[in-house]
Amino acid sequence: MAIRNSLTGQFLRRSSVAGARLMSSSSSWFRSIEPAPKDPILGVTEAFLADQSPNKVNVGVGAYRDDHGKPVVLECVREAERRVAGSQFMEYLPMGGSIKMIEESLKLAFGDNSEFIKDKRIAAVQALSGTGACRLFAAFQQRFHPNTQIYIPVPTWANHHNIWRDAGVPMKTFRYYHPESRGLDFSGLMDDIKNAPDGSFFLLHACAHNPTGVDPSEEQWREISSQIKAKGHFPFFDMAYQGFASGDPERDAKAIKIFLEDGHLIGLAQSYAKNMGLYGQRAGSLSVLCEDEKQAVAVKSQLQLIARPMYSNPPLHGALIVSTVLGDPDLKKLWLKEVKVMADRIIGMRTTLRENLEKKGSTLPWQHITNQIGMFCYSGLTPEQVDRMTNEFHIYMTRNGRISMAGLNTGNVGYVADAIHEVTKSF
Amino acid sequence: MRPPVILKTTTSLLDSSSSSPPCDRRLNTLARHFLPQMASHDSISASPTSASDSVFNHLVRAPEDPILGVTVAYNKDPSPVKLNLGVGAYRTEEGKPLVLNVVRRVEQQLINDVSRNKEYIPIVGLADFNKLSAKLIFGADSPAIQDNRVTTVQCLSGTGSLRVGGEFLAKHYHQRTIYLPTPTWGNHPKVFNLAGLSVKTYRYYAPATRGLDFQGLLEDLGSAPSGSIVLLHACAHNPTGVDPTLEQWEQIRQLIRSKALLPFFDSAYQGFASGSLDADAQPVRLFVADGGELLVAQSYAKNLGLYGERVGALSIVCKSADVASRVESQLKLVIRPMYSSPPIHGASIVAAILKDRNLFNDWTIELKAMADRIISMRQELFDALCSRGTPGDWSHIIKQIGMFTFTGLNAEQVSFMTKEFHIYMTSDGRISMAGLSSKTVPLLADAIHAAVTRVV
């Protein structure tokens, strides 16, 4: 608001000056633009890179790392790339994206033998990873249900707020994380679902909630589904970690299966950034389960109409990799094996971190470290404790205490446990 | 434009056994969406299986894309002599898609390089790609680059660049009106409307001469309010193929600067239009040279054949390095909620080609070959029409530039050519020269001759 007022002032002042002076060197269309606030997560990594200490650890990173702290390209991805290189034209994909990739994505999320797929009830388009899928859906919600609100869990991935805000959808929040127990605020969540106006849209993380790592249990998911059904709300799932959370893609899609069994229509954002390590290739999909085929055709055509003025059609290379990996039985088997390795390493780090803390004699409860799921752990550290971790131990994380388990490895987990114990023990 | 809401009703008897509190609440929810239309309907079914129960039932199917419709109709045609002139991508003399040799080589290099990973790239894209893209359009010796007055961000091809630029201007610029030429690429109004700008038009194409309505253009821009944004096709105007001459560009530049309008260039065909990267960038460089501010959207879809890889860049030339830095920081806030960060593969290919002198030279050779083939198709078509004594002045075919030609054929003539000769193009008479070959030029000339002599 301040920016726009400033712009207005600039323009009013400028318009009173003779035309010839409009081109003076001091005049600039963009002079009144203020620098945007620094991205906090990026700031953590930048500070980490600037640190000279040989002991420094970056647990702010939002991507998987191996036990040597290195980025990983899956072997199934390398092989898929070798197969597609030189054998494909680089033609435009349809506005809705790669048909093959969409088919494989739907099977992964809804099941190979899904009735919804057979009945052609799902409208699906390729999207620019999970972010692009959320943005397409937010724009779709704004256009076709302009009087509804999106309910977003507290807390959630920071970009969710930006996405729905930029799409022009009013946002509300619902309780999710319970700081006292470092788990789920189930009763608060259920109350908020009950109290939301009928027909609201609810953003749900399908598994491995970001940033807390806290997921509902299967029984809790059933009750959530039932309550959402009772209120006629629309559930939109952000599933960025299928397979990567537990090592089992079917288990990670369990919440979605529960909702489908309850007869919900759902929206679903899928990302292949983490589970296939395709981060920078921007491979994802958005699907919307509809009442019937005719409706799915209409919905898909409108989704394409939203995508076209945004980027025309989606990028090819990542889609080729996904469809090749998931479409070939041997490569898919290899992928399942590799994604389990990643998930197991993270689960192992959770266990080891907790064990080290308890061995150090820490009297605080640390079971949330192993109860939480996925890449991120909401440690419970206060901002002051985080600052001490950084200043005294050169361990970098965001000030909300979120630790990326991917940044831990057998070489540094002991050191991190020592530091956590040091800053949390009472004097 | 929001499609009209259509509420379907069923005349079946209300089945009370299917009513339940959840269903009632669901219907109440739906009813609130339909309140303005409820009065026109007698009843609404309470059945949970009724289509009216669905949150998506009020959607109508979106209109078919007209250009896509041409290709769909072409694909359905069983004739062995059919011709698709609606396609918006380059084709070889054999009518096949083309992947440049230089692109193949680089892609193989990238894949063989096991040290490369697939990590997220910055929100603004690959740094190398951005720097080299700015150099390509502005010139390596550009003072704007040397003074650090340019900020460049990688985007999803030309469309993504236009959209990011449009949203940025809607947020941070004091004027929210953009002037588009008449006609312009069909996606332009949708891109800018959805970005939050309002669209107006200025005269560009003169149907009578099938050339530039230069006087109309000057008049319309001359009466645009100060500060308005003006979209300019840098070269190879789509869909007409009509470009201003350099002398005309200079007059346009003077007018835009004197009226303090903000130029936004769409450069989708650099190098592809004439065969020379520098010649095709000349209008943009003319504007940069005067020290003023402007935006440029670049695409590598056509000139590098990277269509589906979605490689593009948005550059904003500012008055000072400090302003450019602040502009970049705000561009990030436009991009992150749209797709977080751009795709890595295509940009890596482009950066490798622009960075390596030998690869770059090989690219310019292949690029010129594509442009030359299109230019020769224009000449061959013109010659074929002359040799048939086809009525009318067809010199615009060789004057127009780039992939597209506005033939001047009307909708009836186009329809005739489709039915009688199986030649497919959009109803405005636009043909894609890329769809022609020496073998198919005579067929097209025959069809045009028949159309103009038999269909008024």
Give per-residue pLDDT as tens, B272-288. Answer: 999 999 999 989 999 99
3-class state of residue B218 by DSSP: helix
Helices (DSSP H) in B223-318: which residue ranges? Answer: 246-258, 277-289
Q: Give per-residue pLDDT as tens, B186-204.
A: 999 989 999 999 999 999 9
pLDDT band at A70 (very low <50, low <70, confident <90, very high): confident
Given a cut of 70, whether residue B44 has pLDDT beyond it is no
Q: In A, which residues are within 8 Å of B107 by CB distance?
A: 85-86
Distance CA A195, CA B371 (A): 63
Phi then psi dihedrals of residue A395, to 5 deg:
-105, 125
Average pLDDT over residues B387-398: 94
Range scoring the smallest mean pLDDT among A131-135, A396-400, B60-64, B73-77: B60-64
Query: B266 with B305, same domain?
Result: yes
Query: B260 with B319, same domain?
Result: yes
- The pLDDT of residue B456: 63
- The pLDDT of residue A27: 61
CATH number of the domain to which B87 belongs: 3.90.1150.10
Supply B405's token pair: 């030609």
Range scoring the smallest mean pLDDT among A88-102, A280-294, B356-370: A88-102
Distance CA B261, CA B254 (A): 10
Residue B401 within any structural domain of the chain: yes
CA distance B52 to chain A (A): 10
Residue B229 within any structural domain of the chain: yes
Distance CA B126, CA B110 (A): 15
Cβ contact B57–A295 (<8 Å)? yes
Q: Return the residue of B nearest to A165 by Cα.
A: B337
* A-B contacts at Cβ under 8 angstroms: 271
Query: B154 with B213, same domain?
Result: yes
Residue B29 within any structural domain of the chain: no
Domain with CATH 3.90.1150.10 in chain A: 41-72+342-424
- The pLDDT of residue A363: 87
pLDDT band at A43 (very low <50, low <70, confident <90, very high): confident
Mutation target for B interface from A23, A28, A90: give the one with most B CBs within 10 A.
A90
Give the domain range for residue B434.
65-97+371-452
Residue B136 within any structural domain of the chain: yes
Please, are residues A304 and B62 in contact by the beta-carbon 8 Å criterion? yes
Q: Return the residue of B nearest to A278 by Cα.
A: B118
Distance CA A299, CA B132 (A): 40
CA distance B423 to chain A (A): 22
pLDDT band at B443 (very low <50, low <70, confident <90, very high): confident
Share the mean pLDDT of chain A: 89
Q: Which of A85, A279, A308 sits opposite B120 (nearest CB)?
A: A279
3-class state of residue B312 by DSSP: strand
Given a cut of 70, whether residue B37 has pLDDT beyond it is no
CA distance B310 to chain A (A): 5
- Tokens 């919905």, located at residue: A299
Given a cut of 50, whether residue A18 has pLDDT beyond it is no
Residue B393 within any structural domain of the chain: yes
Residue B282 within any structural domain of the chain: yes
Query: B213 with B308, same domain?
Result: yes
Number of domains in chain B: 2
Asked if A5 has any chain B CB less than 8 Å from its own CB, the reply is no
Task: Return the closest-CA partner of residue A196 out of A223, A144, A232.
Answer: A232
Query: Where is pLDDT greater, at B43 or B254?
Result: B254
CA distance A136 to chain B (A): 8
CB-based contacts of B344, cutoff 8 Å, min separation 6: A280, A281, A282, B118, B121, B126
- Tokens 């290099």, located at residue: B109
Q: In B, which residues are within 8 Å of A72 by CB distance?
A: 117
Query: B187 with B293, same domain?
Result: yes
- The pLDDT of residue B175: 85
Cβ contact A92–B89 (<8 Å)? yes
Cβ contact A277–B118 (<8 Å)? yes
Domain boundary among B328, B354, B380: B354
Query: B381 with B311, same domain?
Result: no
| β strands within A104-246, DSSP E | 122-128, 150-154, 171-175, 177-178, 183-184, 201-205, 234-239
Cβ contact B172–A277 (<8 Å)? no
Query: B279 with B175, same domain?
Result: yes
Query: B312 with B438, same domain?
Result: no
Share the mean pLDDT of chain B: 87
Please, are residues B310 and B279 in contact by the beta-carbon 8 Å criterion? no
Range scoring the smallest mean pLDDT among A116-130, B43-57, B235-249: B43-57
Q: Taking the domain A41-72+342-424, which CATH number applies?
A: 3.90.1150.10
Query: B256 with B390, same domain?
Result: no
Interface predicted TM-score (ipTM) of this complex, two decimals: 0.81
Domain with CATH 3.40.640.10 in chain A: 93-327
pLDDT band at B129 (very low <50, low <70, confident <90, very high): very high
Query: Where is pLDDT greater, at B450 or B38?
Result: B450
Asked if A53 has any chain B CB less than 8 Å from its own CB, the reply is no
- The pLDDT of residue A7: 35
- The pLDDT of residue B64: 72
- The pLDDT of residue B316: 97
CATH number of the domain to which B236 belongs: 3.40.640.10
Supply B103's token pair: 């692109």
Residue B157 within any structural domain of the chain: yes
Query: B219 with B142, same domain?
Result: yes
Given a cut of 50, whether residue B359 has pLDDT beyond it is yes
Average pLDDT over residues B24-52: 38
Query: B290 with B405, same domain?
Result: no
Q: Give per-residue pLDDT as tens, A144-191.
A: 989 898 999 999 999 999 999 899 999 999 999 999 898 999 999 999
- The pLDDT of residue B53: 60
pLDDT band at A425 (very low <50, low <70, confident <90, very high): confident
Residues of A marked as catalytic: 157, 238, 274
Mutation target for A interface from B47, B184, B229, B310: give the one with most A CBs within 10 A.
B310
Asked if A265 has any chain B CB less than 8 Å from its own CB, the reply is yes
Task: Return the closest-CA partner of residue A139 out of B65, B188, B194, B159.
Answer: B194
B322 noted as active-site residue: no
Given a cut of 50, whether residue A55 has pLDDT beyond it is yes
Query: B214 with B261, same domain?
Result: yes
Cβ contact A298–B59 (<8 Å)? yes
Q: How far is the CA of A398 from the CAs of A393, A420, B1, B103, B117, in angstroms?
A: 15, 14, 43, 41, 25
Task: Return the closest-CA partner of residue A122 out of A256, A226, A221.
Answer: A256
Indicate the fold that domain A93-327 takes in CATH: Aspartate Aminotransferase; domain 2 (3.40.640)
Domain boundary among B325, B354, B383: B354
Q: Which of A22, A36, A311 sits opposite B332 (nearest CB)?
A: A36
DSSP letters along A293-336, please? Answer: HHHHHHHHHHHHHHHHHHHSS--HHHHHHHHHHHHSHHHHHHHH
- The pLDDT of residue A186: 97
Q: In A, which residues are within 8 Å of B343 by CB distance?
A: 128, 280-282, 315, 317-318
Average pLDDT over residues B114-133: 93
Q: How many CB atoms within 10 Å of residue B215?
A: 10
